[in-house]
Homo-oligomer: A and B are copies of this chain.
């Protein structure tokens, strides 16, 4: 990770929050993102982003235990390559909820993309259309969902829904998304209230009504914290909505429902019971409950609980082709990417996002070739094994013959 300190040394023109003078957007649009590796992408993005926005992008909740765990979890698995297979043609295509896509990767929702680059969600949508990939767009998008849909010419995008205090507003958003051409509703289930996010708090970025939202003035961001009233803490009314909100949403829209933010087998079964067609195993990129498990660590229990009743996706810590391969080998149907998309937007707008996904899918194709698999359907559990750590006290090892 690039330390936020680097970001504060930035002296380039900034996007968002009124910091960019009108008419200056072209500064970004035509800039070459110019990165050769993921580390360079992150470094360039850090230099081109205001410090408080960078803290918002990079930070997680609390001490960032879960943020770190998301990456560390991938390092606990090794890939077991098979050689001398015919890998002269690698086909990454798959279908996600019936939508054909060029690869089993999609963009997970992130809010306020306009704070990062003037191309905002429309730029992301154009880049994904060119790449033949699926995007998910936040209730809190800087662009309106109609603008995003209009810019999407590839797989029909998904709309991420933050429950609103008034269910009618939620339902109206879902109907707008359906009408605009989105192909699924991704219901975020892990934000009854925002978590305490230390890095963001220290950086000075606040998720509140001062940040413009493209979907209209009546849309509320999640509430910021529980409020002590007398002897108890009260949350805004959407925190009272429970699983039957899925049933009500299905009455409001014909779009399939995906529940995002599930980390246990128990909740996965409940989601299926309430008609979810997809489950996105996620800890909100380490931005909600600090101490929640890494997404990858929760994946196996969800896959086992769901079986064939729904498609299971994962986001959290996915950066490279080998990460995708590991998640798929553990049972994910497709995986979502979050922060790297913001890095790519910050580094080069639409063209940065295009370049990032070219890198990611080339890496995935390369990793497939190196493990000896040609098709996504050929990825299975035998491709991975646990990465060994030290032995335990008094342990004798797997096959030691002699003894004391």
Instruction: State whether A84 and B225 are in contact (beta carbons under 8 Å apart), knowing that A390-B387, A390-B392, A400-B382 are contacts in the complex.
Output: no
| Distance in Å: Cβ of A185 to nearest Cβ of chain B | 14
Residue of chain B at shortest CB distance from A90: B233
| Interface stretch of the complex, out of A44-52, A263-271, A335-343 | A263-271
Query: Using an 8 Å CB-CB cutoff, how does the interface string of A293-326 with B read, 1 for contact, 0 for none?
Result: 1000100110011000000000000001110011
A76 touches B362 (CB 8 A): no
Q: Which residues of B contact A367 (CB under 8 A)?
A: 289, 291
Q: Of residues 89 to 108 in A, which have CB atoms within 8 Å of B's CB atoms?
A: 89-93, 102
B189 touches A300 (CB 8 A): no
Q: Does A242 contact B (CB under 8 A)?
A: yes
B86 touches A240 (CB 8 A): yes
A78 CA to B403 CA, complexed, in Å: 15
Query: Using an 8 Å CB-CB cutoff, how does the interface string of A379-404 with B read, 1 for contact, 0 for none?
Result: 00110111111111111111111111
Q: Does A87 contact B (CB under 8 A)?
A: yes
Q: Which residues of B contact A25 (CB under 8 A)?
A: none
A132 touches B392 (CB 8 A): no
Q: Which of B264, B291, B305, B388 has a CB less than 8 Å from the CB of A297?
A: B388
Q: Does A30 contact B (CB under 8 A)?
A: no
Q: Which residues of B contact A259 (CB under 8 A)?
A: 83
Q: Which of B264, B322, B390 has a CB less than 8 Å from the CB of A62?
A: B322
| Distance in Å: Cβ of A390 to nearest Cβ of chain B | 3
B80 touches A225 (CB 8 A): no
A82 CA to B398 CA, complexed, in Å: 21
Q: Of residues 248 to 262 in A, which have CB atoms within 8 Å of B's CB atoms?
A: 259, 261-262
Residue of chain B at shortest CB distance from A204: B36
B232 touches A89 (CB 8 A): yes
A239 touches B369 (CB 8 A): yes
Query: Using an 8 Å CB-CB cutoff, how does the interface string of A69-83 with B read, 1 for contact, 0 for none?
Result: 100011111111111
B370 touches A38 (CB 8 A): no
A88 touches B393 (CB 8 A): no
Q: Which residues of B contact A265 (CB under 8 A)?
A: 403-404
Total number of A residues with any Cβ neighbor in B under 8 Å? 115
| Distance in Å: Cβ of A95 to nearest Cβ of chain B | 13
Q: Which residues of B contact A320 (CB under 8 A)?
A: 62-63, 290
Q: Which of B241, B370, B390 has a CB less than 8 Å from the CB of A390?
A: B390
Q: Which of B102, B189, B225, B396 has a CB less than 8 Å from the CB of A385?
A: B396
A65 CA to B320 CA, complexed, in Å: 13
B90 touches A235 (CB 8 A): yes
| Distance in Å: Cβ of A283 to nearest Cβ of chain B | 8
Residue of chain B at shortest CB distance from A392: B391
B322 touches A289 (CB 8 A): yes
A-B contact list, 23 entries, CB within 8 Å: A62-B322, A63-B320, A76-B389, A79-B292, A82-B266, A84-B267, A86-B239, A88-B240, A89-B235, A90-B233, A90-B235, A93-B232, A102-B231, A193-B366, A226-B365, A228-B362, A265-B404, A288-B370, A292-B370, A386-B393, A388-B393, A393-B398, A394-B398
User: A: which residues have CB within 8 A of B?
Assistant: 36-40, 62-63, 65, 69, 73-93, 102, 132, 189-190, 192-193, 195-196, 198, 201-202, 225-226, 228, 231-237, 239-243, 245, 259, 261-267, 270, 288-293, 297, 300-301, 304-305, 320-322, 325-326, 358, 361-363, 365-367, 369-371, 381-382, 384-404
